[in-house]
Amino acid sequence: MSSVDVFVENITRVEGHGNIRVRATDGKLEVCQLQITESPRYYEQLLLGRKWYDAVHITCRICGICSIGHTTSSIQGMERAMGVEPSDQTHKLRQLALMGEILQSHYLHVYFLVAPDLLGAPSVVPLATTHTEVVKMALRQKRLANDICYAIGGRHIHPLTIRVGGFTSFPKEAELVDLKERLIASRKDLEATVELLLSVAHKLPAFERECECVALTNPPRYEFYSGMIGSTVTDPVAPNDYRSKVIERTVPHSHAKFCSSNGEPYQVGALARYNLNHVYLRPEAKAVAATLGLNGPCANPFFFSIAQVVECVECAEYAIELIDHFLDAGFDPALDGHRDVKVQAGCGTGAVEVPRGLLFHEYEVDDEGIIVGANLIIPTGQNLANIEADFAGFVPTILDKDRAQIELLLEMLVRAYDPCISCATHMLKVEWVD
């Protein structure tokens, strides 16, 4: 099949709705578009004229899966705008919540969205019968990660306790003890996950395309929470200078903005983080990476899920370390500053690694604490141009396959990037146009 015209309608596992249009004639790719048709949500406009303390409550609703990440990035941006310096206690507790969010999202993607492709099922539902223990393990891991978010944030999504300057309440010692015990026990489930991936990893296509990877860097840590905006191509820049690195643009076939760096698409997310920071992984995570075939920078986008499993090990071990710290040091209310925020005019940018990649929240406030400017750049939006470039490189290599195979491979490539799935039901509806 050297000529094909494909219209993929309603990609539902992104934050909104989109289509894929691919047309090739005599083996030559003529059209390759990722069309995002979702109506704009206007969050930046919703923020204008609101008080500084409203931003976190509004923006955490952007995504139920990444609500802690949006909360954290929003708070960082507002703190930098108004010169607020949180305590080390606050930073560590935020990071513990973020570890829970990354774990629950990665487990959701690997077990519920990727595993069916590799195990030959249309969805996770049939796996409850054919691979019962795998599904039980998935639910067990997902619940543990959700409970970390609940203990720190006050509920599983849209956290209540995380504020500019600190927290309104702290987790109880008994909650932390329980979470630590369950995290230690979960190591066996992670080992089983590695074994499962090893048994099916040969089904991942061997497609590679070199691209720029962008993620937070903060040596010697494998960073999610703070640091510089690192790149595999250019020098790092500070979060407040992100506009010199990330360029947004509109394209005719998409309601969502595309992003570029140095005029080219770039990648964010688990694989980009791994490519930039893999030397800083904990020994346990490095061992898993080597076992799964990640031995350095990787240009295969289908390995996103492999990188996510490596990050699950990293995040689980770091969560245990943070819990140990709080069990030893306890919580000092005197170190919490959420009641002592002094309003001042300024502009600041928060930059946090959420499960799907680098998330920016930029705010400008006046001397009364009114938001007069806001810009939010979401990871899925940053990956759109790179996914489109991957399609352009991948489609010519699979034109010799039948339609069912091409359809599955297109679905797998979109799923690999783990686009936002908060409203997901069905992945793709494919209409072939001859």
Residue showing tokens 């986008």:
301
Taking alpha carbons only, the member of 375, 345, 382, 362 closest to residue 45 is: 375
Distance, CA of 37 to CA of 200 (rounded, Å): 34
Instruction: Return the pLDDT at 15.
Output: 47
Over its length of 434 residues, how does the chain's per-residue pLDDT go in tens digits? 577 777 766 664 444 566 777 888 887 888 887 777 666 678 899 999 999 999 999 999 988 889 999 999 999 999 999 999 999 999 999 999 999 999 999 999 999 989 998 998 888 899 999 999 999 999 999 999 999 999 999 999 999 999 999 999 999 999 999 999 999 999 999 999 999 999 999 999 999 999 999 999 999 999 999 999 999 999 999 999 999 999 998 888 877 788 999 899 999 999 999 999 999 999 999 999 999 999 899 999 999 999 999 999 999 999 999 999 999 999 999 999 888 999 999 999 999 999 999 999 999 999 999 999 999 999 988 999 999 999 999 999 998 888 778 878 888 898 899 987 332 222 344 444 44
pTM for the structure as a whole: 0.93
Instruction: Return the pLDDT at 17.
Output: 67
Q: What is the mean pLDDT of the chain?
A: 91
Sheet containing 429-432: give its strands across. 28-36, 18-25, 4-9, 429-432
Helix, strand or coil for residue 339?
coil
What pairing do the DSSP bridges indicate for beta strands 429-432 and 4-9? antiparallel
Q: Which amino acid would we find at residue 359?
A: L
- DSSP labels for 361-389? EEEEE-TTSBEEEEEEE-HHHHHHHHHHH
CATH 3.40.50.300 for domain 43-400: no
% of the chain at pLDDT higher than 70: 93
Task: List the structure tokens of 335.
Answer: 């170190």
DSSP 86: -
Angle between helices 379-394 and 403-416 (to 10 degrees): 150
Distance, CA of 14 to CA of 200 (rounded, Å): 25
